[in-house]
Structure 1
Amino acid sequence: MTRATGVGSVPGPGTADPAEAFREAVRRTSEAYAPLAHLPEMPGRGVGAEMVGRTLGLIDELGADVQPAGWRLTEASGQSGRDQRRARSLLDHDLDILEEEAGGSGGYGSTGDDLKIQVAGPWTLAASVEKPRGDRVLGDHGARRELAEALAEAVTRHVADVQRRVPGARVVLQVDEPALPAVMAARIPTASGFGKHRRVDPPVASALLETVLGAARGAGAVPVVHCCAASPPTGLLAGAGAAGISVDLGVLTTAAYDPLAERFDAGDLVLLGVAPSTGPATGEPAGDSAVLNRVRRLLDMLGLDPAEVGEQLVLTPACGLAGAHPAYARHVMAQLPRVARQLDEA
């Protein structure tokens, strides 16, 4: 059965109470995407609600706080900064809401269902977070290894916490790595802005990913990696232990098709971004038939039968929906499950 789910972020809270807005987002994602609902992210709530801050909030071993340039590790290792504590408190509250909704009549927690949660990956964190005295963690081999190891410990705890709160669901851990292609191509700027950090070779990139993905597997989760690049390093991700990949069909080059077909052949999950993350500036968004035809066309080019890959294929938006109008986000959440069913019925 072909499924649908979200990538992570949703619009909000707007003028609504943040807690109630998040609760409503949990209900909507549960109803729309079961049997593969996801824990929504709502970065519009401010510092600590965005991808990097939310992940740093999970980490106990390293302290972090927000500076004018963004998130920075603190000198006091293991002592959480104020913003990091806020991020942790916010996520704990979100998980409380998730647990409450799982105990009701929603789609979370049904035996045999999957529940997807998201964290920023080690390379995206290293490219986004500064060391205590400035410049990115990415440029320091020891610091980025320490950050990856702390993330792996955090993943182990986080997966166990979600399993305890929603015991009926299998946890899918999505590791977000939007910065990975830039890291491997030496496109991450230094603090001065006049230079670039040195490229990271594939074996080095794989090793840090393996640390985190292995922790997810060890905790009983299914690790997938989200990388919405034109040519994501699919083989590298699989070699590092990813059991699935999440990509944006709208930007994929034809050179990425064969590696993607190999993931289907290997039995991995393929989360395929088929709906733009923001609606069109004018006119109506693409209808069901247009989205369905895009998926069929790709599978045909890959030489795959939809009936044979339905258990592996998951339809998603191209990326998070935080920047979308709420009405468009609701449209996507209703459309993707319909298209998934239509693909199975064809």
Structure 2
Amino acid sequence: MTGPVTLGREIELPSGHAVLEDRGALRDLAASLAEGVSGHVSRLERSLGCKIIVQWLEPALQEALDGSSRPVSILQPPRRLPVPEAVGLWSGCAEIGADQALWCGDTVPWNAVEEGPFGTLVLGPAATGASGGPRDHALVDGLGRWFDRGRHGVLAVDGRDGAQAVARRILALGREAGLSGEQLLERTGVAFDGAGAGSTREMIAGIRHARDIRAGFAEVGEE
């Protein structure tokens, strides 16, 4: 579900400016979003007979905080979204009565995310180094603080490398963030990043791959 910050950046007012530029309009948008999602979650839970987890997508969060969105006019640069305002928008959405997680792309603005109401943070392969790329030390420090607060994480994988190789990289990340292998199992999940999946078969294979990685935590941890 697109989060209020990113949605506010994408929707335009009649003036041509993004809703993000108008504090009042942004608050109204966030309130309407929370109301709509709350009703949708209630209907789904009644129909499916299970609890729903809402994942908020905020890929534009860093740009909004930096004020680096493309302006309508060079005479009026985009405003910087203050962290307390972003947290306030999320707080309203967090009252929808469902478990929730936050994803904000490969760059995690820890100053905002840590102050937010969400208990679970979703990180993609590029962010965690699960794809084999270099690891961001700011990410390790941020995750350490995140887990110290008793929060949880979901680590997305892309299925390009073997399960044990990815499990080793994720375990190494957990250790750097201050988690033992057992704590990593308790506090994190592994999910398939289906952005590149071209078919249902590929999606199913990716989900199985994520399951194998999580199962590999115990085996790799004993090496």
Same fold, TM-score > 0.5, yes or no: yes
SS in 2 for 1:124: helix
The aligned runs of 1:243-254 (5 Å cut-off) are 243-251=119-127, 253-254=136-137
Give the equivalent residue in structure 1 for 2:59.
Answer: 178
Q: Distance in 2 between matches of 1:308 and 1:140?
A: 43
1:234 to partner: Cα distance? 3.6
Which residue of 104, 108, 111 corresponds with 1:227? Answer: 104
The aligned runs of 1:234-273 (5 Å cut-off) are 234=110, 236-251=112-127, 253-273=136-156
Higher relative contact order (CA 8 A, sep 6+): 1
Say whether 1:287 aligns with 2:162.
yes
User: Letter of the aligned partner of 2:126 in structure 1?
Assistant: G
1:205 to partner: Cα distance? 1.4
Say whether 1:154 aligns with 2:28.
no
The aligned runs of 1:78-227 (5 Å cut-off) are 119-167=1-49, 169-192=50-73, 196-213=77-94, 215-216=95-96, 219=97, 221-227=98-104
Q: Distance in 2 between matches of 1:320 and 1:133?
A: 37
Moved over 3 A (4+): 191-196, 327-331
Q: Deviations over 1:174-218 (max 9, x none)?
A: 1111111110011111235886411111111111111111x23xx
Give the number of aligned pairs: 212
1:166 to partner: Cα distance? 1.9
Q: Distance in 1 between matches of 2:61 and 2:93?
A: 14
User: Letter of the aligned partner of 1:173 in structure 2?
Assistant: V
User: Letter of the aligned partner of 2:215 in structure 1?
Assistant: R
1:290 to partner: Cα distance? 1.8
Percent of residue pairs identical:
26
1:262 to partner: Cα distance? 2.2
Q: Deviations over 1:296-322 (max 9, x none)?
A: 1111212311212312211124x542x
The aligned runs of 1:29-48 (5 Å cut-off) are none
Q: Distance in 2 between matches of 1:123 and 1:136?
A: 11
1:160 to partner: Cα distance? 1.1
Cα–Cα, structure 1 residues 134 and 339, in superposed 2: closer, same or farther, change >3 Å? same
Gaps of 5+ in 1: 1-118, 277-284
RMSD after superposition: 2.2
Give the equivalent residue in structure 2 for 1:10.
Answer: none
SS in 2 for 1:310: helix
1:291 to partner: Cα distance? 1.1
Gaps of 5+ in 2: 129-135
User: Letter of the aligned partner of 2:168 in structure 1?
Assistant: N
Q: Distance in 2 between matches of 1:211 and 1:193?
A: 33
User: Letter of the aligned partner of 1:223 in structure 2?
Assistant: Q
The answer to whether the Cα contact below 8 Å between 2:54 and 2:101 also exists between their aligned partners in 1 is: yes
The answer to whether the Cα contact below 8 Å between 1:224 and 1:245 also exists between their aligned partners in 2 is: yes
Cα–Cα, structure 1 residues 189 and 287, in superposed 2: closer, same or farther, change >3 Å? same
SS in 2 for 1:251: helix
Q: Whose helix fraction is larger, Structure 1's or Structure 2's?
A: 2
Give the equivalent residue in structure 2 for 1:115.
Answer: none
Q: Distance in 2 between matches of 1:335 and 1:208?
A: 36
1:240 to partner: Cα distance? 2.4
Q: Distance in 2 between matches of 1:244 and 1:307?
A: 18
1:331 to partner: Cα distance? 3.2
